[in-house]
Amino acid sequence: MDYQTILWSHENGVAEITMNRPDNANALSARMSDELFDAACRCEAEGARAVILTGSGRMFNAGGDLQEFDDAEDKADHVTRMATILHAALSRFSHMDAPVITAVNGSAGGGGFSIAISGDIILASEKAKFVSAYTASALTPDGSSSYYLAKHIGLLRAKELMLTNRVLTAKEACEWGLVTRVVSPDDLMAEARKLAAQFANGPTKAYGGVKRLLQTAYSEGLETQLDKESRSIAAMMKTHDGAHGIASFLAKKTPEYKGK
């Protein structure tokens, strides 16, 4: 796909995806949803072992392109198609083995807020701000925030953010448990790339196993979760990295993981 709204690079196992509509606050358009889905598929097809998702310019992503919504002849159909494709992209990011780092460089609102908090690791610039924003335009959340937000910060705080559209600073978001770490604006991408490089040299299949186990941490009963744990750790024993990791530990050597 010829990208018009995102930037893409993939080097040394790290895929970088940059939402790139800086003159439009990186707002989510139908085209961007298509391109994010293509990029998510491409991460897996090209064997990316870590992913960084960020925005260009001063904003991370201000949410849906409301002008595009308003211009659509059938607004409900337009939003249905766009949200379905965006959700397919986010689902692929969630289920892939590669850890996904969202590097929140600026304000994240609406759909951008949802994308920001969907990362496995959420790094925020000190200049970042977070706001649900949906109900300010008489809308309800999309982009997975109704799934992730309450899990991150609890149901009452999730209701507060979604009903009142309270704006959180990066510091407040970190204190609430909404982001992993806050860094200076100048250090954001360096920190994201340093962490991504660490993941790209790690046991990728094990990372994927952890992601999938934690997806059901709040929804499965104890015995079901224990069964999933048994199956997952046994599956790791069939991977190259699982056996290699154990052998390296016993030999007191630094493992060299292949992500297989």
Residue that is written with structure tokens 């705080």 in the block: 157
CA angle 182, 26, 198 (to 5 degrees): 40
Residues 88 and 185 in one domain: yes
Q: Determine the Cα–Cα distance for residues 40 and 10; give it in Å rounded to an integer.
A: 12
Residues 144 and 239 in one domain: no
**Closest to 200 measured CA to CA, from 44, 47, 50, 8:** 50
Residues 27 and 128 in one domain: yes
In a domain, 258, yes or no: no
Tokens of 119: 């990362």
Residues 98 and 116 in one domain: yes
pLDDT in tens, 109-119: 999 999 999 99
Q: Determine the Cα–Cα distance for residues 235 and 239; give it in Å rounded to an integer.
A: 7
**What would the mean pLDDT of 87-92 be, rounded to a whole number?**
98
In a domain, 255, yes or no: no
- The catalytic position among 142, 152, 227, 244 is 142
In a domain, 1, yes or no: no
Q: How many domains does the chain have?
A: 2
Residues 241 and 153 in one domain: no
pLDDT value, residue 223: 97
Residues 179 and 71 in one domain: yes
Q: Determine the Cα–Cα distance for residues 68 and 85; give it in Å rounded to an integer.
A: 16
- The catalytic position among 10, 87, 152, 244 is 87
Can you say how many angstroms the Cα of residue 151 is from the centroid of all Cα atoms in its chain?
A: 15
pLDDT in tens, 193-209: 999 999 999 999 999 99
Q: Please, which pLDDT band fits residue 121 given cuts at 50, 70 and 90?
A: very high
142 is catalytic: yes
Find the domain containing 172 and state its range.
6-200
